[in-house]
Amino acid sequence: MYPSKVSWLLRQNKALCFPTSLPVLEELCGGIHPGKIIEFCGPSAIGKSQLCFHLMRDCLTAGKKCVIVSSTRLLVSETQKLTPKENLSVFYVHSVFELLATLQAVDALQTSMVVIEGIQPLLQAVLGSANYRGQALLNDVKCCMGAVAVKSVVLCTNGIVSIGDGKHGPALGRAWEIVPSVRIMILSNSVGKRVMWRNRERVAELSIGDDGVRVSWGDTNH
């Protein structure tokens, strides 16, 4: 690859950027713009996919292109809200190899946002076995996601595992920890509210209603 001028890269990034309707989330993540891989992890049915869909809606209403790569069937109630449809592409993948092929295909498109939904079952099928094939595939996925992230912002959703003492941590292990540039963990506290953590420090609150998702700064005592 030839070295490109930073000004050219900045102009490209600006062309693919879009304003979101969640300023608190942007501040929590340190900006949602091309070059970032943002991971949302949390238990099931806590709102990770809803958050991704909300951001996809913002991207599409700004007129930019968007791609979603999913391992589970997407609910119609979510995809109906995503208009215009010609800027949205949906891919279904069921194994790591399909994911790699799809990421390489997406690299050729000029998209602003790539959402990888449900990456945990795809990678858990190959990680952890005695031969190191799983680690090699994880490295491949990391490189492909990095290549895609040069031009678009990449969002992915992950699950959590318990790490003892009743605490929870992101799934997929240590090797996956270095892949995302920002990791947001969503847990529900004792009161039942959804709390978003970043680096176990900054705390925000997530609320989900009929019209969409709202993120606000929470109070520190929970």
* Peptide bond between residue 84 and the one before it cis (omega within 30 degrees of 0): yes
CB 40 within 8 A of CB 47: no
Regarding 160 and contact with another protein (CB under 8 A), the answer is: yes
Regarding 46 and contact with another protein (CB under 8 A), the answer is: no
User: Quick one: CA torsion of 171, 174, 179, 180, rounded to 10 degrees?
Assistant: 50
Regarding 127 and contact with another protein (CB under 8 A), the answer is: yes
Give the position of tokens 């090797």. Answer: 175
- Positive or negative torsion for Cα 102, 104, 106, 111: positive
Regarding 94 and contact with another protein (CB under 8 A), the answer is: yes
Residue among 24, 90, 171, 208 that touches another protein (CB under 8 A): 171
Q: Which stretch binds another protein (CB under 8 A): 17-25, 27-35, 38-46, 144-152?
A: 38-46
Regarding 60 and contact with another protein (CB under 8 A), the answer is: no
State how far the Cα of 114 lies from the Cα of 161, in Å rounded to an integer: 25
Hey, what amino acid is at 144?
C
Residue among 75, 109, 150, 163 that touches another protein (CB under 8 A): 75
Regarding 76 and contact with another protein (CB under 8 A), the answer is: yes
Regarding 92 and contact with another protein (CB under 8 A), the answer is: yes
- Positive or negative torsion for Cα 124, 202, 43, 163: positive
Regarding 83 and contact with another protein (CB under 8 A), the answer is: no
Regarding 21 and contact with another protein (CB under 8 A), the answer is: no
Residue among 15, 121, 169, 207 that touches another protein (CB under 8 A): 121
φ/ψ (deg, to 5) at 192: 110, 0
Secondary structure of residue 119 in the 3-state scheme: helix
Residues engaged in binding another protein (CB under 8 A): 43-45, 71-73, 75-78, 80-81, 92, 94-95, 118, 120-130, 134, 159-162, 166, 171, 210-211
